[in-house]
Amino acid sequence: MEKNVIVVETLHKKYGDFAAVDGVSFSIRQGEIFAFLGPNGAGKTTTVEMLECLRTPTSGKITILGFDVAREEAKIKEKIGVLPQSFNAQDWLTVKENITYFAKMYPRHVNIERLIDTFDLKEKENALFRRLSGGQKQRVGIAIALVNDPEIVFLDEPTTGLDPRARREVWASIRELKSRGKTVFLTTHYMDEAQNLADRIAVINRGRIVAEGSPDDLIDAFGGGSTLVIRGCEEMAQKQLLERFSGSQLENDEVLISVACSDGFADITKAMTVIRETESPCKELYVRKATLEDVFLNLTGEKLGEETD
């Protein structure tokens, strides 16, 4: 069984009478990708900055790789790497020069050429940073976060502002970190990113952890179940479906009817029977599974945005 490399116990951070972080506890296992999600003002950024030794807790305890944040900050900083939100390097240095520049800040660093190869930057190693695409810049940032060969890597919103292709390039780099045995602490406002990458997720709201588990576990527990969607029906079919399915509703002007499914196959069969009985054709029928978007909305009452707290 993997050991816990981060342990947070009853963590508090207060600003006067305001509790930004209110008794947060969680642990992270070695070699996993752990996603930390929360709406604006939930205490997410404050918690992460305490883990990164940038803020001092009001009370509680943080242990990273066996070191106490309150007493062994220097030892922790030697063992972690950080990619901050909106990372930027020196525009007029090349990829290799930028990575070398940051590597020299540490008494010990990894082989630069190997790091460039690992993140598929060899063809761009002599290109100026300013001329790279968004995805390439983020890959440089992840490489820089690894120059000291950290055991834990903090990635703060690593794909913000990137196009879909660039986001997937960064996803591949994050998976590469996991394959090398690194522990990844990921904050993101993209639910598909958390669902695709994370082994476990914690959701923080109003300073407290409100749910924690694997993506599938959270969806099963808080997603609200799958939904049978029937759209493009004539009025008679709409009326009969609404009457025959408890809890069903007509959504917006697109004539879409959502039916909660406890038994998807049985509900599909029943819906098709109703449609045949009314002799009113419908354009589309499908089952929509719950997602992390549903989980987040159900737990916090809002959608996850790009703001930070």
Domain ranges of the chain: 4-221, 226-288
Cβ atoms of 285 and 272 within 8 Å: the answer is yes
* Residue 102, both tokens: 């940051």
pTM of the model: 0.84
The two structure tokens encoding residue 206: 């109003």
The CATH number of 4-221 is which of 3.30.43.10, 3.40.50.300, 3.40.50.150, 3.40.980.10?
3.40.50.300
Q: Classify the C-alpha dihedral 160-119-177-213 as positive or negative.
A: positive
CATH code: domain 226-288 is 3.30.70
pLDDT in tens, the chain (309 residues): 569 999 999 999 999 999 999 999 999 999 999 999 999 889 999 999 999 999 999 999 999 999 999 999 999 999 999 998 878 899 999 999 999 999 998 888 999 999 999 888 999 999 999 999 988 999 999 999 999 999 999 999 888 888 888 888 889 989 999 999 999 999 998 899 999 999 999 999 999 999 999 999 999 889 877 788 888 888 888 888 888 887 778 776 555 566 555 566 777 788 888 888 888 778 888 887 888 998 999 998 876 654 445
Q: Is 194 helix (H, G, I), strand (E, B) or coil?
A: helix
Nearest 5°: phi and psi at 199? -75, -40
Q: Reduce the DSSP state of residue 213 to 3 states and report it.
A: strand
